Structure 1
Amino acid sequence: MQVNLGNTFSATETLTQPSVSFSAEPGYDPSKTKYTIFLVDPDAPGPAAPILKDFLHLIISNAQPSCITTQSRTTVASYMPLTPLSVAAHRYTFLVYRQPPNYTPPPSINYLPGVRNNFDLNAYVAQAGLMGPVGGNFFREGLASTVCAVTPGCTQEGTGYQAA
């Protein structure tokens, strides 16, 4: 599966952590430049009422472009599988930020209470001194993308989805 600017996946297709790769940034030596990758859900718990927006699903630091085959990536926040609570599809967004020289990732935030709900991406980026975003991509997933795979007449927006 490849994320391609808004394509749609089912819940079963996103159970495992995605493999994230990106091209070298023009003007920067790929062997000496490192990046931090975020995966956030700006639509949590649903696009109609995103009260938990920017729900954090993943942070990886010290990533390098795909042309660098020997990387030592650091997981700052481990992958939390996607569990959209709405029939309408959520936009799951990957953002790539350039790290400053001599960057040290913050301690793991995996188990800090409430850190994933309403994740303040802008504050994290400012505090860490990250630059960008220099790249990004997104895909969609909602209950309709899973339910509609087995429900005749259902659309990805949830039209035709039979309420219990």
Structure 2
Amino acid sequence: MSRGRDPLALSQVIGDVLDPFIKSATMRINYGDKEITNGTGLRASAVLNAPHVEIEGHDQTNLYTLVMVDPDAPSPSKPEYREYLHWLVTDIPEARDICSGNEIVPYESPRPPAGIHRIVFVLFKQQARQTVYAPGWRQNFNIRDFSAIYNLGAPVAALYFNCQKESGVGGRRIGVFFPKVLKAISKLCFWDQAEEKIQRNIYMEAVPFTIQKLVHLK
């Protein structure tokens, strides 16, 4: 497939998250009976539990690392937490379910506060088993840096789906969901500042309290 028609390039996953790569493996990802293909749209309620992930092949000595990130957190217009790490699993044997791997960072379901978020799964083929350490926080993870640190090389496969909150219809419509809160805050600051504060506070629910104390919202 030419890059011009590659959905990963058209969606800017190539660029925002990954450099161009040549696909050399096939992974299947299912949330319940819904198989993920590039651009699939899912509500947050459909992704509460970790998906079923399987890597096609026949050689169980081949091991893989799977990373799941959100490059649009907390908002596509201000992705200050890019990339937000939702899941990290290593040592996944080929032709086996992801449950056979080593979960380094537990699955956290996407909870987009506003807009449509790209949720990206990236698969790397490992050269061997190795010790991988969980990062201290989920926000501002960087797949390129992670690959370099652990000598994983280029990805062998990637998939993404689009996710938005249950009542979302795209775009920045947070004022519809929090009118009373926005009205109160808007008396103290400009509208865009009020919206940004709401978005950032929602995403900070997933950050440990000790880290929250170090973050000062402007």
Q: TM-score, normalised by structure 1?
A: 0.78
- Pick closer, same or farther for the CA change 1:39–1:147 going to 2, 3 Å: same
Aligned with 1:107: secondary structure?
coil
Letter in 2 for 1:85: P
Letter in 2 for 1:23: E
- Asked if the contact 1:14/1:82 (under 8 Å) is kept, the reply is yes
- Asked if the contact 2:53/2:98 (under 8 Å) is kept, the reply is no
Q: Which runs of 5+ in 2 are unaligned?
A: 1-33, 180-218
Structure 2 distance, partners of 1:96, 1:78, is: 16
TM-superposed deviation, 1:71: 7.0
**Counterpart check, 1:98 vs 2:125:** yes
- Asked if the contact 2:52/2:98 (under 8 Å) is kept, the reply is no
Q: Which has the higher helix share?
A: 2
- Asked if the contact 2:89/2:101 (under 8 Å) is kept, the reply is yes
- Pick closer, same or farther for the CA change 1:30–1:49 going to 2, 3 Å: same
Letter in 1 for 2:124: Y
Structure 1 distance, partners of 2:158, 2:122, is: 4
TM-superposed deviation, 1:105: 2.9
Give the structure 2 partner of residue 51 of structure 1: 80
Cα deviation 1:87-131 (Å, max 9, x = unaligned) = x21000000001112x2132344xx2xx21000222211111112
Give the structure 1 partner of residue 104 of structure 2: 76
Cα RMSD between the aligned structures? 2.4
Letter in 2 for 1:130: L
Q: TM-score, normalised by structure 2?
A: 0.60
- Asked if the contact 2:47/2:109 (under 8 Å) is kept, the reply is yes
* Equivalenced residues, count: 144
Aligned with 2:86: secondary structure?
strand
TM-superposed deviation, 1:18: 1.3
**Counterpart check, 1:136 vs 2:162:** no
TM-superposed deviation, 1:70: 9.9
- Pick closer, same or farther for the CA change 1:49–1:41 going to 2, 3 Å: same
TM-superposed deviation, 1:158: 4.8
- Pick closer, same or farther for the CA change 1:85–1:159 going to 2, 3 Å: closer
TM-superposed deviation, 1:9: 0.8
Give the structure 2 partner of residue 85 of structure 1: 113
- Asked if the contact 2:54/2:97 (under 8 Å) is kept, the reply is no
Give the structure 2 partner of residue 8 of structure 1: 41
Q: Which runs of 5+ in 1 are unaligned?
A: 149-155
- Asked if the contact 1:55/1:119 (under 8 Å) is kept, the reply is yes
